[in-house]
């Protein structure tokens, strides 16, 4: 608990959501600790109570959203044999692609401190792209055993191609292309899963 009795995870999410609103509304350059706390209706210094500065805050926002996507990918295990394989994977891919506003991604990439913090956390095992790949690969293997994915399908290669491509799109897409994401992911999963039913 924080000194004011607010649960830190709740406060973190409140600040993260506020930061996303600021960036979506006013652009990445508008995101400051004051802008985030004002938007979150928190005391002005509260962000610095829990984060060393705006770089760590931005990095932790990115890591939190990647962890959320990794959890969504982990839920594929409960979908084996249900729905379409292509549809199940497309849902996970879209969740990752929509996990962060393109401007937040740009901010995290262009602030050296945020980029370094994010990379070090992922290297240390924070849930991210590796966890997503493993979940997708395990899901495809389970569906192959059920006969819903073609025998001989290289689950590891497909999971790498899917997560890697979505990662690329996440890091490079422009805000004006967001509306086309669903079609892009549908085409991608169709190509990768030509033998799936």
Give yes or no for a contact between 195 and 100, defined as CB atoms under 8 angstroms apart: no
pLDDT at 5 over 50: no
- pLDDT bin (cut points 50, 70, 90) of residue 178 is low
The residue with greater pLDDT, 180 or 128, is 128
CA atoms within 13 A on the CB side of 136: 33
What is the pTM (predicted TM-score) of this model? Answer: 0.84
Locate all alpha helices (DSSP H) within the chain, ordered by sequence.
8-26, 33-40, 46-50, 54-74, 85-97, 102-110, 112-123, 129-145, 155-172, 181-192
C-alpha torsion angle, residues 70, 72, 75, 76 (rounded to 10): -90
10-23 pLDDT, tens per residue? 899 999 999 999 99
Neighbours of 153 (CB within 10 A): 18
80-109 pLDDT, tens per residue? 999 999 999 999 999 888 888 888 888 888
Give yes or no for a contact between 115 and 53, defined as CB atoms under 8 angstroms apart: no
């Amino acid at each position: 608990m924080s000194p004011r009795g607010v649960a830190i995870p709740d406060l973190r999410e409140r600040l993260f959501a506020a930061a996303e609103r600021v960036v979506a509304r006013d652009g990445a350059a508008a995101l400051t600790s004051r802008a985030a706390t004002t938007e979150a209706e928190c005391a002005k210094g509260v962000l610095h109570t829990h984060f060393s500065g705006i770089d760590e805050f931005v990095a932790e926002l990115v890591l939190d959203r990647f962890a959320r996507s990794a959890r969504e990918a982990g839920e594929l295990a409960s979908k084996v044999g249900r729905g379409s394989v292509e549809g199940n994977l497309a849902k996970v891919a879209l969740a990752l692609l929509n996990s962060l506003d393109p401007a937040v991604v740009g901010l995290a990439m262009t602030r050296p401190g945020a980029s370094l913090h994010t990379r070090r956390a992922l290297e240390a095992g924070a849930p991210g792209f590796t966890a997503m790949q493993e979940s997708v690969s395990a899901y495809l293997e389970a569906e192959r055993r059920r006969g819903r994915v073609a025998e001989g399908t290289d689950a590891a290669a497909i999971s790498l191609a899917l997560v890697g491509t979505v990662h690329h799109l996440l890091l490079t897409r422009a805000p004006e292309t967001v509306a086309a994401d669903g079609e892009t992911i549908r085409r991608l999963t169709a190509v990768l899963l030509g033998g799936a039913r």
